[in-house]
């Protein structure tokens, strides 16, 4: 609107000022001619003659008026001669100033534009008459009207286009954003089953997808947490049930012999230890999850650590009739690691090998230097892991069907510890042939 008002105003101004300039030129030339050629006579005598000096290209009406305002000569309507004219511009010119007037002729109502210039006598500088040049504004106003109609309709078109654009924006941006916002609010209240529907494949659609993805992840996480708690409860109940059972039996005095009492107390001790271990492992997990576990790093001589573990395991190997061997490269590099945590990892893995290997089997501990890492391999020829279970053994609480399986946390903890060391834990296994667990640890260059 502002633009249109400025444009229309400028247009009217342009047309009117060019008309004014044209009229002024004519008036000026008549005044000039009078002063040049005729000023030695009386104006009333010269008026008719003066009209002949009108420039040939003047289309306007020219009037010569005397100092009382009486029309002396008129180029278009001679019948009006002798009438006294009373217009603003004539009165101003009679007082010595060039002036303009825009208005309507009272009889016809025609819009006109007039310019009046004073005619002065050369000797006295006194105003002796007026030259008035008049033109009709009907034609110009008609042109202006057409222009304004075009401009206004153009304006309406633009407003309509803006309206359409707004509508499109509402559909593609504002409504989807509103939908996403309301979905996000619902999610914030804990309902992660809501999903944002995708309307367009643009940035906002992508935002919706991301939000959906987040909701999915949170749901998964919640489910995992619930499963975890369920597993823990289950895991805690088994030893507790057996402890409770024995305590009730002992407490009721139904025990016949000392041996039976001893057996009961043994079971209570064993189960309590199991509970303590389980609680320790769970604490470890909550620390892993909170990301607060920090490695107490030092320079670790892997070769020595592995020999130490092997020696520690020897009595168990003898007891179970399993051969345990170690084969570690001489120049196995020292690494920057948490020695106790690594020990926990290797003992866990070797413990599994012992549990799942029959009498007469073997367990090999192998240490090899690679380009920028160390490979520790623990190999057994035990019962092996069914193919479909291999990807699951690192999950918390996953244990096979075997009776010797523990709580199923061992490998999950090992995996976390190795990840903290930026290493890898890979398991390969064939049922009936045996299992190979590879631990790959990076070697820091500064050591």
Ligand X SMILES: Nc1ncnc2c1ncn2[C@@H]1O[C@H](COP(=O)(O)OP(=O)(O)OP(=O)(O)O)[C@@H](O)[C@H]1O
330 phi/psi in degrees, rounded to 5: -55, -50
Residue 114 touching ligand X (CB under 6 A) = no
Quick one: which of 353, 374, 376, 438 contacts ligand X (CB under 6 A)? 353
> Which range in 70-78, 149-157, 188-196, 352-360 contacts Mg ion by CB under 5 A?
352-360
| Nearest distance, CB of residue 242 and ligand X, angstroms | 17
Closest chain position to Mg ion (CB): 410
Residue 63 touching ligand X (CB under 6 A) = no
First CA to last CA distance, the chain: 76
d(CA 72, CA 63): 7
Q: Which is nearer to ligand X, 135 or 381 (CB)?
A: 381
d(CA 292, CA 177): 38
Given ligand X, Mg ion, none, residue 408, with its beta carbon under 5 to 8 Å by kind, binds ligand X
Interface of this chain with Mg ion, residues 400 to 419, rule: CB under 5 A? 410
| Nearest distance, CB of residue 286 and ligand X, angstroms | 16
d(CA 92, CA 219): 90
Residue 285 touching ligand X (CB under 6 A) = no
Residue 361 touching Mg ion (CB under 5 A) = no
d(CA 231, CA 227): 6
Residue 245 touching ligand X (CB under 6 A) = no
Token match 């002065």: residue?
120
Distances 347 to 343, 351, 413 between C-alpha atoms, Å: 6, 6, 12
Instruction: Name the 3-class secondary structure at 423.
Output: coil
Which residues, in sequence order, are CB contacts of 182 under 8 Å at separation 6+?
Answer: none
The sign of the dihedral angle between the CA atoms of 21, 22, 28, 31 is negative
| Nearest distance, CB of residue 407 and Mg ion, angstroms | 8
Which residues, in sequence order, are CB contacts of 232 under 8 Å at separation 6+?
Answer: 282, 397
Quick one: which of 58, 99, 212, 352 contacts Mg ion (CB under 5 A)? 352
- Helix (H) or strand (E) segment spanning residue 396: none
Interface of this chain with ligand X, residues 368 to 427, rule: CB under 6 A? 380, 382-385, 393, 398-400, 402, 405-412
Residue 423 touching Mg ion (CB under 5 A) = no
Residue 435 touching Mg ion (CB under 5 A) = no
Given Mg ion, ligand X, none, residue 405, with its beta carbon under 5 to 8 Å by kind, binds ligand X
Interface ranges with ligand X (CB under 6 A): 348, 352-353, 356, 380, 382-385, 393, 398-400, 402, 405-412, 435
């Amino acid at each position: 609107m502002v633009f249109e008002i400025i444009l229309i105003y400028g247009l009217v101004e342009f047309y009117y000022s060019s008309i004014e300039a044209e009229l002024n030129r004519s008036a000026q030339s008549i005044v000039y001619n009078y002063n040049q050629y005729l000023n030695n006579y009386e104006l009333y005598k010269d008026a008719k003659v003066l009209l002949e000096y009108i420039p040939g290209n003047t289309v306007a009406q020219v009037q010569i008026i005397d100092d009382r305002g009486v029309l002396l000569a008129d180029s278009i309507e001679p019948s009006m001669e002798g009438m006294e004219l009373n217009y603003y511009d004539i009165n101003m010119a009679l007082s010595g100033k060039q002036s303009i007037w825009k208005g309507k002729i009272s009889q016809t109502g025609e819009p006109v534009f007039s310019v009046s210039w004073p005619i002065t006598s050369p000797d006295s500088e006194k105003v002796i008459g007026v030259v008035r040049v008049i033109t009709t504004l009907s034609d110009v106003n008609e042109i202006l009207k057409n222009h304004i109609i075009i401009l206004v309709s153009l304006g309406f078109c633009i407003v309509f286009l803006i309206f359409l654009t707004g509508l499109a924006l509402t559909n593609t941006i504002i409504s989807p954003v509103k939908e996403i916002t309301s979905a996000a609010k619902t999610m914030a209240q804990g309902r992660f089953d809501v999903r944002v529907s995708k309307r367009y494949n643009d940035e906002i659609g992508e935002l919706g997808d991301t939000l959906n993805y987040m909701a999915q992840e949170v749901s998964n996480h919640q489910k995992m947490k619930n499963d975890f708690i369920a597993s823990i409860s289950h895991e805690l109940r088994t030893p507790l049930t057996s402890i409770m059972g024995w305590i009730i039996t002992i407490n009721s005095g139904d025990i016949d012999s000392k041996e039976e009492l001893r057996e009961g107390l043994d079971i209570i001790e064993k189960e309590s230890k199991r509970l303590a271990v389980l609680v320790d492992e769970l604490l470890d997990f909550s620390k892993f999850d909170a990301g607060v576990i920090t490695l107490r790093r030092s320079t670790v001589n892997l070769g020595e650590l592995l020999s130490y573990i092997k020696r520690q395991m020897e009595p168990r190997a003898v007891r179970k009739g399993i051969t345990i061997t170690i084969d570690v490269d001489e120049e196995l590099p020292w690494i920057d690691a948490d020695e106790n945590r690594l020990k926990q990892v290797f003992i866990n893995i070797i413990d599994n090998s012992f549990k799942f290997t029959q009498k007469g089997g073997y367990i090999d501990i192998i240490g090899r230097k690679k380009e920028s890492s160390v490979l520790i391999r623990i190999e057994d020829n035990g019962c092996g892991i069914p193919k479909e279970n291999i990807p699951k053994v690192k999950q918390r609480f996953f244990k096979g069907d075997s009776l010797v399986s523990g709580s199923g946390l061992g490998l999950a903890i090992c995996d976390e510890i190795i990840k903290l060391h930026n290493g890898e834990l890979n398991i390969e296994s064939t049922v009936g042939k045996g299992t190979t667990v590879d631990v790959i640890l990076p070697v820091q260059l500064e050591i």
